[in-house]
Amino acid sequence: MQKKPVKILSSGPLLNIAHIVKGSRANGPGLRDVIWVQGCSRHCEGCQNLELQSHIRRYILPVSTLIGQIAARKDQIEGVTISGGEPLEQPAGLAELMEMVHELGLSTMVYTGFEYDEIYDSSNPQIQRILSATDILIDGPFILSKKTQSVPWVGSSNQRVICLTSRYSKNEIGEMDICVQECFIFPSVLGDFTIINTGIQQ
């Protein structure tokens, strides 16, 4: 049966989303909502999120819809983390989302396969907006030969936890009680389950 086209009911930037987990402790400081975007051109060997690499349409959501959901939980969470996939491949939507999350008073954390040195002076204004509205950037591709389980929030030792604002410091992060792995199980209307394992790869 042919799928009906998805109707978008509000205007503004869109994001192609694969998963959302509400209330994670393994993806940044404190309790966070985590959004995984769909699509990444990098194809790192050993990628933990292989199913998120292809640029297929998943859930095409207006940023305003996402912000509505986050705003409803703003007293319960410390912030929002964006993973993927490659978030910077959807710069317009991500810039809008990060700025609006900051306006809610919540912290922001973004994973990217780009190194910070490649993007910090980008001429793309959307990338500059993202960097200005990101508290913690986890940069660099996953490199299988450098896989580690000893650095909080990163999968390989080349990746860095970079504090881009004064909201967090490396010292403060070093003293945090960090959750390493979580498993979320979501029942479906069909009676089966979707399982999302998140955190540092074993």
Interface positions with ligand SF4 (CB under 6 A): 40, 42-44, 47, 49, 52-53, 84-86, 113, 141-142
Q: Which is nearer to ligand SF4, 52 or 94 (CB)?
A: 52
Q: Which is nearer to ligand SF4, 126 or 158 (CB)?
A: 158
Tokens of 199: 């955190």
Q: How far is the CB of 130 from ligand SF4 (least distance, A)?
A: 16
Q: Is the peptide bond before 191 cis (omega within 30 degrees of 0)?
A: no
Q: Which is nearer to ligand SF4, 53 or 107 (CB)?
A: 53
Q: How far is the CB of 36 from ligand SF4 (least distance, A)?
A: 9
Q: How far is the CB of 40 from ligand SF4 (least distance, A)?
A: 3
Q: Which is nearer to ligand SF4, 36 or 168 (CB)?
A: 36
Alpha carbon distance, N-terminus to C-terminus of the chain = 39
Q: Scanning the structure block, which residue is given the tokens 């710069």?
A: 91
Q: How far is the CB of 176 from ligand SF4 (least distance, A)?
A: 23
Q: Which is nearer to ligand SF4, 68 or 160 (CB)?
A: 160
| DSSP letters spanning the chain | -PPPPPPP-S-S-EEEEEEEEEEESSSSSSSEEEEEES--S---TT-TTGGGSS----EEEEHHHHHHHHHHTTTT-SEEEEESS-GGGSHHHHHHHHHHHHHTT-EEEEE-SS-HHHHTT-S-HHHHHHHHT-SEEEES---GGGB-SSSTT-SBTT-EEEE-SSSS-HHHHHTS----EEEEEEE-TTS-EEEEEEES--
Residue with the closest Cβ to ligand SF4? 113
Q: Which is nearer to ligand SF4, 114 or 168 (CB)?
A: 114
Q: How far is the CB of 168 from ligand SF4 (least distance, A)?
A: 22
Q: How far is the CB of 159 from ligand SF4 (least distance, A)?
A: 9
